[in-house]
């Protein structure tokens, strides 16, 4: 399934989806949502919504520096998971990096998140682990 991926400035949608998808991990790790930190981070990201049949089904947030393009959020609505949308978002991030002439794609994922296996299938490798988070990257050919 191929979504339309388009820029979004809908912070409320992004925050709701992230909080919904991540609340279980936050609870397990004893973390609390920080709305001020989210507001600050949101202003520094390029946000994209994934759309199927005019319905928003996911979120991709990116930023970059001269060394790498960073996937800061990749959230798929639970009803739409395991249908190739995450892979489509990763490919979109790769294309964005290529257009910027950047050859590394990086992300962070909680160690307890089963999405770790998905990222490994997509070619990401763990470069370091701090606290409860894996820092992963992959080269873009």
pLDDT at 106: 98
Q: Determine the pLDDT at residue 141.
A: 80
Q: Which domains are seen in the chain, by residue range?
A: 4-106 (3.40.630.30)
90 pLDDT exceeds 80? yes
For residue 33, count other CB atoms closer than 10 A to its CB. 12
Among residues 74, 85, 77, 71, the alpha carbon closest in space to that of 56 is found at: 77
Confidence tier at 1 by pLDDT (50, 70, 90): confident
Residue whose token pair is 């191929």: 2
**Strand 104-110 relative to strand 125-130, pairing:** unpaired
- Residue-averaged pLDDT of the chain: 96
Q: pLDDT digit string (tens) for 91-120?
A: 999 999 999 999 999 999 999 999 999 999
């Amino acid at each position: 399934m191929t979504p339309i991926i388009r820029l979004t400035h809908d912070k409320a949608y992004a925050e709701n989806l992230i909080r919904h998808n991540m609340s279980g991990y936050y609870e397990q790790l004893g973390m609390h949502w920080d709305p001020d930190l989210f507001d600050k981070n949101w202003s520094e990201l390029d946000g994209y919504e994934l759309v199927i049949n005019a319905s928003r089904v996911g979120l991709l947030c990116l930023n970059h520096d001269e060394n790498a393009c960073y996937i800061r959020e990749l959230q798929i609505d639970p009803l739409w998971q395991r249908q190739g949308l995450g892979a489509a978002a990763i490919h979109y991030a790769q294309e964005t990096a290529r257009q910027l002439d950047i050859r590394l794609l990086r992300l962070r994922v909680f160690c307890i998140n089963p999405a770790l296996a998905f990222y490994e299938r997509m070619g990401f490798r763990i470069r370091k682990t701090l606290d409860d988070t894996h820092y992963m990257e992959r080269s873009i050919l």
